[in-house]
Structure 1
Amino acid sequence: MEAPVAGLRRALVLAFFVAGIWSAYIYQGVLQETLSTKRFGLDGKRFEHLAFLNLAQNVICLVWSYIMIKLWSSGSSGGAPWWTYWSAGITNTIGPAMGIESLKYISYPAQMLAKSSKMILVMLMGTLVYGIQYSLPEYICTFLVAGGVSMFARMKTSSKTIISKLAHPNASLGFALCFLNLAFDGFTNATQDSINTRYPKTRAWDVMLGMNLWSTAYNMIYMFGWPQASGFEAVQFFKLHPEAAGDILLYCLCGAIGQNFIFLTISRFGSLVNTTITTTRKFVSIVVSSLLSGNPLSTKQWGCVLMVFSGLSYQICLKWKESQELQKKRKA
């Protein structure tokens, strides 16, 4: 009787984590698209300093992780020291900044679809740098994702509202920024894995604190490091348009809550389950953006979306099978 009860409890906990990740990041996506396209005030000004969102979110996440460590932890964990995150902090600063800047040139659904192709860069780096040999099913997954993203990028939108909302529409530059974002994210993830391997006692909150500490420092230098830095213009914009500050605060809180549930999911259920949740979340984000923002996708574009997520779903199934085989070997 205890086993079914434990299984039900575990399922309910997972459902709660899924709801937390989906709600936080889907709403953050709506806010992000709003901030990149909305005109504020009587003068109809856009918030052009989207990189400021990264600094604001770093600060909120830094405070959040510090509070969680104080509330739920006691003493030293024996994890990685804070200075080990300096290199990952650099790429974690540059990558998201490029991702946010891409919204000046492409729509949010297009950005989400491009970011779903992260596996392409992972396989490319694995083959060229580490000489990893991939299986035929893995190449099929990559073909589906790469083909879907490529065709989506070439298609014209089914509605002029997307282009009219963008400040400077330039699809080539927008997608280039997205893929550079993915490349930097790949280095960040690899560095985090290396740190966790060297310091196995590192807690999720320690990683969150270390990453956001360095990212805050780097973004402060970038945004306020010289008299003409864009951070001062962003602050002036908030003074003239205080309603934008409220949207940004909500954006940052969503990011902190989302990170919170992601780290909890990884610690309780593993990275594979987290990948499944975040992948499906991207698809839901595209649907929500299409319905709420007046950015309808054409039938062909929905076909591209289906192509991309078919590849991702196939990849997830392969990973599940691999994990099951590893568990059987360990039991044997």
Structure 2
Amino acid sequence: MKPEVVSTPKRKGPEGGSPLLLAFCFFGLQISYLTWGYVQEKVMTTEYTTGKFPSATFCVFSNRLIAIIVALAAMLYQHGSARVPAPLWAFAPCSLSNSLSSYAQYQALRYVSFSLQTLSKSTKVIPVMLMGKLLNKKSYPWRDYGEAALISIGVSLFSFSESKPKGSHTTELLGVLLLVMYVTADSFTSQWQSRVYKANPNVDQFQMMFAVNMWSLAMTFITLVASSELFVSLKFLSDNPAAITDQMIISATSATGQLFIYFTIRRFGPITFTIIMTTRQIFSMVLSAFAFGHTIHALGGVGALMVFAVVFVRARRGGGD
């Protein structure tokens, strides 16, 4: 007996969605993450009334709190329950790495420019490949290694082009080490989540978001209490009301950004999503340069163009994590 042929509706846009819906996703991602990036840099570099914000860990904590609320609402709406169909311990490793990557991302802004931090995210393809081989036994063609090398060269050119004040080499090295920590931990997160999805096919993106952020909230809370940063941060917020507003904006845009990520990937696929987010990185660098007075020199421009060109080629080809 021949299998029943089921007709499928014609696709109206990339990966199956209307152009209007694609525009909604594009502007939703851009607004969420451009706002998030701008305020993130502002929080970590601006002198408030009593000084700079004292704790990158508290920023991670507040983001996770809002993300849990949003994920829980989505779970209750979609499943009518807060139950996660997988052992909670399975989410702990990627939650730890996710917390470390977020902390490093915030802390690095004290030592390197936002533009360099943004561009360095493109180097994630290298540790993602390594983590894929280590955790999920993946193999990659030599073309991927060549593209990873070109991305590294482009980021290096951008880094060398930035003007550095005398005596800043030590702090700059610390910033670079934090960026390495961010990229490595973030790469582990995505590969471990892929592993959890394969082992537990009933887990959806909202349940993943909820479970990972629950672990992260607990971890960051313990860290804040143990280091006394929780009380220092709360005191700072009480003395600087403007910082409260900034923290709320960061947390809200981080949560809406995650929702747009999941929705865009589900409706239009990872290729379209990668192109949108690469465009966002370009906009973020331009916004940061204008808002905070960063200068992008000619050599840095060449490096940035090299990186974004490789990322676009990979996206069009379908290369990804």
Output the TM-score relative to the length of structure 2: 0.87
Q: Which moved more, 1:198-207 or 1:19-28?
A: 198-207
Q: Aligned equivalents of 1:129 and 1:82: distance in 2?
A: 19
Alignment partner, residue 276 of structure 2: 277
Q: Aligned equivalents of 1:221 and 1:300: distance in 2?
A: 44
The superposition leaves residues 281-332 of structure 1 with CA deviations (integer Å, 9 ceiling, x where unpaired) of: 1122111111222212112111111111112112212226x9xxxxxxxxxx
User: In structure 2, the residue corresponding to 1:104 is in which secondary structure?
Assistant: coil
Q: Aligned equivalents of 1:98 and 1:141: distance in 2?
A: 25
Q: Does 1:200 align with 2:208?
A: no
Q: Aligned equivalents of 1:125 and 1:259: distance in 2?
A: 23
User: In structure 2, the residue corresponding to 1:106 is in which secondary structure?
Assistant: coil
The question of whether the paired residues in 2 share the 8 Å contact of 1:114 and 1:175 is answered with no
Alignment partner, residue 256 of structure 2: 257
Q: Aligned equivalents of 1:74 and 1:27: distance in 2?
A: 32
Q: Which moved more, 1:272-281 or 1:258-267?
A: 272-281
* Distance of aligned partners of 1:77 and 1:47 in 2 relative to their CA distance in 1, 3 Å threshold: closer
Q: Aligned equivalents of 1:156 and 1:270: distance in 2?
A: 35
What amino acid is the match of 1:13?
L
Alignment partner, residue 38 of structure 2: 30
Alignment partner, residue 3 of structure 2: none
Deviation at 1:143, TM superposition (A): 2.1
Alignment partner, residue 301 of structure 2: 302
The question of whether the paired residues in 2 share the 8 Å contact of 1:204 and 1:267 is answered with no
What amino acid is the match of 1:102?
A
The question of whether the paired residues in 1 share the 8 Å contact of 2:17 and 2:268 is answered with no
The question of whether the paired residues in 2 share the 8 Å contact of 1:77 and 1:201 is answered with no
The question of whether the paired residues in 1 share the 8 Å contact of 2:131 and 2:188 is answered with no
Deviation at 1:236, TM superposition (A): 1.1
The question of whether the paired residues in 1 share the 8 Å contact of 2:126 and 2:148 is answered with yes
Q: Which moved more, 1:63-72 or 1:298-307?
A: 63-72
- Equivalent residues in 2 for 1:126-205, closer than 5 Å: 126=132, 134-157=140-163, 170-205=171-206
The question of whether the paired residues in 2 share the 8 Å contact of 1:115 and 1:182 is answered with yes
Alignment partner, residue 4 of structure 2: none
Deviation at 1:175, TM superposition (A): 1.6
The question of whether the paired residues in 2 share the 8 Å contact of 1:95 and 1:182 is answered with yes
Alignment partner, residue 222 of structure 1: 223
Q: Percent identity?
A: 27
Deviation at 1:5, TM superposition (A): 8.0
User: In structure 2, the residue corresponding to 1:267 is in which secondary structure?
Assistant: helix
The question of whether the paired residues in 1 share the 8 Å contact of 2:104 and 2:182 is answered with yes
- Equivalent residues in 2 for 1:308-319, closer than 5 Å: 308-319=307-318
**Structure 1 regions of 5+ residues with no counterpart?**
323-332
What amino acid is the match of 1:30?
Y
The superposition leaves residues 14-42 of structure 1 with CA deviations (integer Å, 9 ceiling, x where unpaired) of: 2211211111011100001111111112x
Alignment partner, residue 55 of structure 1: 61
The question of whether the paired residues in 2 share the 8 Å contact of 1:105 and 1:168 is answered with no
Q: Aligned equivalents of 2:67 and 2:149: distance in 1?
A: 36
* Distance of aligned partners of 1:206 and 1:154 in 2 relative to their CA distance in 1, 3 Å threshold: same
Deviation at 1:179, TM superposition (A): 1.4
The question of whether the paired residues in 1 share the 8 Å contact of 2:95 and 2:216 is answered with yes
Q: Aligned equivalents of 1:238 and 1:291: distance in 2?
A: 27
Q: Aligned equivalents of 2:218 and 2:228: distance in 1?
A: 15
User: In structure 1, the residue corresponding to 2:318 is in which secondary structure?
Assistant: helix
Deviation at 1:78, TM superposition (A): 7.3
Give the number of equivalent residue pairs: 310
Deviation at 1:169, TM superposition (A): 7.6
Q: Aligned equivalents of 2:201 and 2:288: distance in 1?
A: 39
Deviation at 1:198, TM superposition (A): 1.7
Output the TM-score relative to the length of structure 1: 0.85
